[in-house]
A and B are shown apart, each in its own frame.
Chain A
Amino acid sequence: MTNDELIAKLKTIVQPYIQDEAAFETLSEDTDFINDLKINSANLVDVILDVEDEFDIRIENEDMEKMTSVKAAMAIVTEKLAAQ
């Protein structure tokens, strides 16, 4: 999977939770889930569940804590997929 494909998938996943349309439109590797997309922090666990379902992976607590941006999410997903 290319980086662009991965970003596109993450974009679809976070869409229901975002509260800043402008930041969502310009979503890139550097976008932060909370500061830019204004995702409610309680919803981060839902984003992670949706990522787990989409890529058929399991994300542990330590990784979950780090997963607050597109870049971090990409790193974790890529690592998990590689380990499979």
Chain B
Amino acid sequence: MKNRVVITGLGVVAPNGVGLDAFSKAIKNGHSGITHHQQLADLNFSCCIGGIPHISEDKKLEYLTPLQLRGFNSSGILYGCIAGIDAWKDAGFSITSDSKLDFDSGTVFGTGTSGVEKFREAIYKLDDGDVKRLGSTVVVQTMASGISAFLGGILGLGNQVTTNSSACTTGTEAILMGYQRIKNGQAKRMLVGSCSDDGPYIWGGFDAMRVMTYKHNESPEQGSRPMSASASGFVPGAGAGALVLESLESALERQATIYAEVLGGHMNSGGQREGGTMTAPNAEAVQRCITDAIANAQISAAAIDTINGHLTATSKDSLEIENWTKALQRKGDDFPYINSLKSMVGHCLAAAGSIEAVATVLQLKEQFVFPNINCEDVHPEISALISEEKIIKTALETELNIAVKASFGFGDVNACVIFKSYN
């Protein structure tokens, strides 16, 4: 007998809203979190806009101790800790430094790179011959598993504590990894999510690849344009999303609030074959990831009410829509609703999947579809495949039962998770 897995807590740090209430309001109102950053301009970036969550110094002290904040320079870990702690509290757990070790709770909390600014700081010192003066904080902030290590200690987690990494698929993959662990009876609760640093040192490589838009430096809020004919590259973002996954049995026992159920999902790779490359998806693998996720969740494609796509606002958006139509065997008026959170927060890279999953789960809990902004001119290749009415432009209150979240990443990797309303 496999365990059913439900979501009992959410936390989010997004460029357009920090905390569930602010984020929920922002996504319903189509509020953009993209702003101009002079630092990027000063460093000669082509794209000088991005989505950076706003966290005050006071807010930091609500989550980390003054000692933890000494020499602290890892925005991703900060965002991950805030989202993770919020999700844990939202699930009804109290957090104290002397709480009992819980062997039934663990975390899979992903990231792409950790503490890139801290690493830069350390490299300057090292190159000056000052290795002795690095202090004790470099390792824990720059090791990939820094975020799960921080959260594991703050929450007193005694089950698996690890960090996964699969580029822009990371957040969605973390959800599925935690889901599997609970489903198989190896844990009762898993905090899952992902985080990503902000700023030039994490975004620079993408700017160099010319995959970020340089056309909206004067109009940041209009910059991120998934599915639009005038999409001209993605806008970088940062932040973190976190979900508490729990066996249905444990959630009922605790009388926890249940946001939604995780029905299943799938992860695969296109192997950088048949059109797939390091940076481009193998379409067949993407379609197969979706169909295998549907099979794993034991639903029919017809049951899907809404899709939260990967949809980054590059030239690949049309291909993604085509992949969805083929995988679901649904098109035109028969296609589900589809949206991309990236229109409001940009592409939060390793954090994208988890922030977008939080938005997807909120849609199920509160029965609405958040709007796509900057999509008044739907790309003709997309409107040839699906009805424009399915690309919601102002928040829609409607009955939703099943929502799908998919993420696709560099390395030709894919993940697709299927959520269902719980009632």
Interface of B is mostly: loop
Q: A17-B67, A42-B136, A45-B136 are in contact. List 14 more A-B contacts (CB 8 A).
A: A16-B66, A16-B67, A16-B70, A43-B67, A43-B136, A45-B135, A46-B70, A46-B71, A46-B135, A46-B136, A46-B137, A49-B133, A49-B135, A52-B133
Q: List 17 A-B contacts (CB under 8 A).
A: A16-B66, A16-B67, A16-B70, A17-B67, A42-B136, A43-B67, A43-B136, A45-B135, A45-B136, A46-B70, A46-B71, A46-B135, A46-B136, A46-B137, A49-B133, A49-B135, A52-B133
User: Which residues of B have CB within 8 Å of A17?
Assistant: 67
Query: Which residue of chain A lies nearest to B136 when distances are taken between CB atoms in the complex?
Result: A42
User: Which residues of B have CB within 8 Å of A52?
Assistant: 133
Cα–Cα, bound, A53→B137 (Å): 17
Cα–Cα, bound, A46→B66 (Å): 14
- Interface positions of A from 42 to 70, Cβ below 8 Å from B: 42-43, 45-46, 49, 52
Residues of A that sit less than 8 Å from B by CB: 16-17, 42-43, 45-46, 49, 52
Query: Which residue of chain A lies nearest to B137 when distances are taken between CB atoms in the complex?
Result: A46
Query: Which residue of chain B lies nearest to A45 when distances are taken between CB atoms in the complex?
Result: B136
Cα–Cα, bound, A45→B133 (Å): 9
Cα–Cα, bound, A49→B136 (Å): 10
- Interface positions of B from 138 to 180, Cβ below 8 Å from A: none
User: Which residues of A have CB within 8 Å of B133?
Assistant: 49, 52
Nearest 5 A/B pairs, CB to CB: A42-B136, A46-B135, A45-B136, A46-B136, A49-B135
Cα–Cα, bound, A17→B214 (Å): 46
User: Which residues of B have CB within 8 Å of A49?
Assistant: 133, 135
Cα–Cα, bound, A17→B136 (Å): 12
Cα–Cα, bound, A17→B69 (Å): 11
A47 CB to nearest chain B CB (Å): 10
Per-residue A-contact encoding for B52-67, CB less than 8 Å = 1, 0 else: 0000000000000011
Cα–Cα, bound, A17→B66 (Å): 9
Cα–Cα, bound, A43→B67 (Å): 10
Cα–Cα, bound, A17→B67 (Å): 6
Cα–Cα, bound, A3→B389 (Å): 79
User: Which residues of B have CB within 8 Å of A46?
Assistant: 70-71, 135-137
Per-residue A-contact encoding for B69-94, CB less than 8 Å = 1, 0 else: 01100000000000000000000000
Cα–Cα, bound, A49→B135 (Å): 7
Query: Which residue of chain B lies nearest to A64 when distances are taken between CB atoms in the complex?
Result: B132
Cα–Cα, bound, A43→B133 (Å): 13
Cα–Cα, bound, A46→B70 (Å): 10
Cα–Cα, bound, A46→B137 (Å): 9
